[in-house]
């Protein structure tokens, strides 16, 4: 949502309606003044329980080495499977902040709830502009309401926690806001440093 909330539930929770004109069912209970700004379809992995999810997230490849960390419980085969199937959610806010987080951190709940935190510190970040699956092999293009554009390789963006406030991606002016965000597939020719372009 625009105010930094998210909910994940099985697609089977939304029953098939007989009529196109049906009113539908509630996907999420919104706080006053909030609104849904994006929807994503994620593939089902089959995490066995919350303990397995937490075990993987504690030892995820993007966490790096930490000798003080509690030893991993799951076996190597299962760990490799979860690592291969892992998806990442990219969230972008109006004031130029954003973050990349593991989709495993978005636990499944029942349809119609209030959701969980997708990104923190909305007061600093500004409202959420977009939130969608992305990979480090892609690039991100941001456009502002002052006709400025930036293209960022996501390989440079480290994975951080779901409830984190994010990092600055685009240094916008005081009266400038990001209004659009899009993923771009990166080719070998496009594998370059950040490009800053004035659309005018």
What pLDDT, in 10s, does the model give residues 74-125? 999 999 999 999 999 999 999 999 999 999 999 988 899 999 999 999 999 9
Residue for token pair 């600055």: 168
**Least confident span in 145-154, 166-175, 183-192:** 183-192
Q: What does the pLDDT read at residue 187?
A: 63
pLDDT bucket at 194, cuts 50 / 70 / 90: very low
Angle (deg, nearest 10), helices 50-58 and 76-85: 80
Q: Under a CB-based contact definition with an 8 Å cutoff, are residues 130 and 181 in contact? A: yes
> For residue range 23-57, what is the model confidence (pLDDT) as tens digits?
888 999 999 999 999 999 998 888 888 999 999 99
187 vs 37, residue with greater confidence: 37
Domains within the chain, CATH numbers bracketed = 5-9+29-43+87-198 (2.120.10.90)
pLDDT bucket at 67, cuts 50 / 70 / 90: confident
Round to whole Å and give the CA distance between 36 and 1. 4
pLDDT of 131 higher than 50: yes
Q: What does the pLDDT read at residue 199?
A: 40
Q: What does the pLDDT read at residue 14?
A: 86
> For residue range 167-185, what is the model confidence (pLDDT) as tens digits?
999 999 999 999 999 999 8
Q: What does the pLDDT read at residue 189?
A: 53
Round to whole Å and give the CA distance between 136 and 140. 10
Sign of CA dihedral 123, 121, 90, 139: positive
Q: What does the pLDDT read at residue 44?
A: 86
**CB count in 10 Å sphere of residue 46:** 9
pLDDT of 192 higher than 60: no
Classify 185 as helix, strand or coil.
Answer: strand
For the residues 130-136, what does the mean pLDDT come to?
94
Q: Under a CB-based contact definition with an 8 Å cutoff, are residues 88 and 155 in contact? A: no
């Amino acid at each position: 949502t625009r105010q930094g909330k998210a909910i994940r539930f099985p697609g089977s929770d939304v029953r098939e309606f007989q009529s196109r004109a049906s009113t539908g069912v509630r996907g999420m209970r919104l706080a006053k003044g909030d609104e849904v700004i994006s929807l994503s379809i994620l593939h089902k992995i089959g995490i066995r329980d919350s303990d397995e999810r937490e075990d993987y997230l504690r030892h995820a490849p993007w966490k790096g080495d930490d000798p003080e960390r509690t030893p991993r419980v799951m076996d190597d085969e299962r760990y490799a499977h979860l690592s291969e199937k892992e998806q990442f959610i990219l969230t972008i806010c109006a004031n130029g902040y954003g973050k990349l987080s593991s989709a495993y951190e978005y636990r499944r709940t029942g349809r119609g709830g209030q959701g969980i935190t997708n990104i923190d510190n909305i007061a600093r970040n500004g409202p959420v502009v977009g939130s969608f699956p992305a990979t480090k092999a892609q690039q991100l293009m941001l456009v502002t309401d002052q006709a400025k554009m930036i293209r960022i390789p996501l390989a440079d963006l480290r994975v951080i926690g779901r409830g984190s406030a994010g990092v600055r991606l685009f240094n916008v002016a005081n009266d400038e806001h990001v209004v659009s965000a899009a993923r771009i597939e990166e080719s070998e020719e496009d594998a370059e440093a950040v490009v800053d372009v004035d659309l005018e």
